[in-house]
Amino acid sequence: MKILILSLCLLMTFSGASHAYDSNETSDKGRNKRSNNETLRVAYKATQNWFQLEATLEAVNESTLSAQTSGRIEAIYFDVNDYVKKGALLVKLRDKTQKASLKRANAQLNQYKAEDEVRQLELIRSLTLFTKDSLSKRKLDSVKAQAASAAAAVKAARALQEQAQEQLNYTQVHAPYSGIVKTLHKQVGESVSPGSSLMTGLSLDQLRAVAYIPQRLAPQINQQKDFQIIHEEQIIAAQKVTLFPYANAESHSFKVRVSINSQGLNLFPGMWVKLNIPTGMKRILSVPISAIIQNGELSGVYVNTPNGALLRQVRLGERVNSEAINSETKNSKAQNGQIEILAGLREGEYIFIDAYSQLAQQGSEE
């Protein structure tokens, strides 16, 4: 009784579809005479069967920058939610002490270099005298030891200079990658020491979805990579799938992380998305989305019969990725998105691809 009432509502709403239906008598000749709108033969098609879960997005690159030297914060160049390019200067510490240490290291290095030059020249002269038997072996060995010591002192001084230069570099904290500032842990004027947290940031270029799958599905997806992320009817392919090799002791579910390329997408960490997990193939009846005509919660398609176009109520399923369907048609509208039909159509029937064009055509004829 409910189906009859819904069908009557569709017939009254879409004006002009009160023709009798006879599914046992179809004629290709009758179809071509009654409409210029293209038709499509309904047939079962193979498509991927998906198990859908809720997942949470998180940033692959999220880090907290810490101080590597002591000092007072002199300037902070970015605030929370600011976008930062890779290599940009984020925080500057007071560097007077570090500059003084670098100057002292440079002076010591120059001093040891001068001493090393003197020792090396003395060694050359001593070798010349030794070949002429004008210098004893003992004296020559002493000169060699002094020259080696001077060379080692230069290396030690150069290492101290590099250390002082590194400490000076630590007074300027740069962004390790492009992203946004999430948290500021210190403010201008505060003193920091090595290990003190300064700023937390994350990158939006690489995100991953985190979900927990039932243990019964873990053996099936352990070697599969063709996961999908669904967000606002947009399908995003997975770049990398990581299935944790152990289950949660309380929920007995396995954690899975699916990395995606989020560049150009309106996705942010913490958002909910849908994770499609492949679980084999299935056969479905699907039609182009353009063939569906809707009014509120009522859905219908125009079926081509020997008596003309008949508007029939159908029950819709989920949208289907048209690339996963082994479609037999080359019509552009027929390939522009497919939707599963759960009830209302049978294999072998013909439907009109553009439902609203068919509705307008019937209105013009009346």
DSSP 12-74: HHSSS------TT---HHHHHHH-SS-EEE--EEEEEEEEEEEEEEEESSEEEEE-SS-EEEE
Cβ neighbours around 40 below 10 Å, total: 21
Inter-CA distances, 304 with 16, 74, 219, 290, 291, Å: 14, 77, 46, 15, 12
- pLDDT of 182 reads 92
- pLDDT of 223 reads 53
What is 196-215 written as a DSSP string? -EEEEEE-SSEEEEEEEEET
What is 245-263 written as a DSSP string? EEE-TTT-EEEEEEEEE-T
CA dihedral (323, 204, 263, 332) positive or negative? positive
Q: What residue ranges define each of the domains in the chain, with the CATH number in brackets?
A: 2-48+281-365 (2.40.420.20), 52-61+203-279 (2.40.30.170), 63-92+174-202 (2.40.50.100), 95-170 (1.10.287)
In eight-state DSSP terms, residue 82 is: -
Tens-of-pLDDT digits for all 366 residues of the chain? Answer: 444 444 444 444 444 433 333 433 434 444 444 445 688 888 888 777 778 889 999 998 899 999 999 999 999 999 999 999 999 999 999 999 999 999 999 999 999 999 999 999 998 988 888 888 888 888 888 989 999 999 999 999 999 999 999 999 999 999 999 999 999 999 999 999 999 999 999 988 888 999 998 888 777 665 556 788 888 878 888 888 888 888 888 888 888 888 888 777 788 888 998 888 877 778 888 888 888 888 888 888 888 888 878 888 888 887 776 443 333 444 444 445 788 888 888 888 888 888 787 777 776 766
Q: What angle, rounded to 10 degrees, do the helices at 96-131 and 137-169 form?
A: 160
- Decide: 259 and 274 in contact? Cβ < 8 Å: no
- Decide: 24 and 349 in contact? Cβ < 8 Å: no
The residues pairing with 240 across neighbouring beta strands, listed in sequence order, are 259
